[in-house]
Amino acid sequence: MRAATIRDGEVLVEEHPDPEPGTGQVLVRVRAAGVNGGDMMQLRGRYPAPPGSPPDIPGLELAGEVAGLGAGATRFAEGDRVMGIVGGGGQAELAVVHERQLMPVPDAVAFPAAGGLPEVFTTAHDALFTQAALRSGERLLVHGAAGGVGTAAVQLAHAVGARVTATVRNPDARDAVAQLGADDVIEPDGFEERGPFDVVLELVGAPNLAANVKALNSGGRIVVIGIAAGAKAELNLAALMGKRGRIMASTLRARPLEQKAATARALEREVLPGFERGTLQVPVAESFALADVAAAYERFAAGGKLGKVILEP
């Protein structure tokens, strides 16, 4: 099979042996795979694949058709449309995934969008509701709201009745983010003056930390799930104590199978019906053939996009 491959700080396409599904695993013929911030960090040597995942083939989410079943795999049949998060290896013509990490692709969702759905909607749903316990009527601040996780978070929070403020640096993308459900779309500078916020979803990183604490409501929660702009910052503990605030952080990639399976079942119950109804969507900024993977990564790194960059093997 052909697969995106990281070699010496570059991403290119190489031939690899076809993977074989093991016990409980499904062989997926990949039709679409999203490019995510974690892939960019892996390219820079800062986010290695967890044990059991291909160390040199990036890709944290995929969608495709079941091409084969390992021993004991019974949730899906050959030919079924499936999607899911993976520890790596998604940006390839073939991938093996444990059946419990996979979800059915809703009939209303085409493959390019499905390839960009699992990672961002799982990340946003887990961060907002499992970690931060966002509730209807609360005020949410989403940083970097024009990206994949940001657009997912805006839609999910709007769907439960939260009031959403979104920071978007590119002025050309602000109207589209508002159409996804953001009540206020603002430039990042000076966001702390627009609070107080009950929950802050941090997708940018350390430079926002002090202002995030300033922007918190009493009892507010900050959830860190992106650090592209930096991982280290100074924290004023007195200010955090004064707000009775909490800071938490989360990643998906290194979680054990049981926890990844739980997030997949939560998405099946609480998120996928919205795609069937047409109330949720995956904005696709641009799609690339697998042969153009380097250009796809450059497009992601350039910023200023709305939604996902997709590879279509």
Q: For residues 88 and 140, state if they share a domain.
A: no
Instruction: Report whether pLDDT(228) > 90.
Output: no
**Which residue, 219, 249, 279, sits at the end of a domain?**
249
pLDDT tens column, 129-142? 999 999 999 999 99
* 117: amino acid identity, one letter: L
Instruction: Report whether pLDDT(26) > 90.
Output: yes
Q: For residues 141 and 207, state if they share a domain.
A: yes
pLDDT tens column, 242-273? 999 999 999 988 899 999 999 999 999 999 99
The enclosing domain of 151 has a CATH number of 3.40.50.720
Q: Which of 27-31, 45-49, 66-70 has the lowest mean pLDDT?
A: 45-49
The enclosing domain of 84 has a CATH number of 3.90.180.10
Mean pLDDT of 226-236: 92
Q: What percent of the chain has pLDDT over 90?
A: 96
Range of the domain at 274: 2-117+253-312
Q: For residues 270 and 221, state if they share a domain.
A: no
Q: For residues 155 and 229, state if they share a domain.
A: yes
Number of domains into which the chain is organized: 2
Q: For residues 217 and 281, state if they share a domain.
A: no
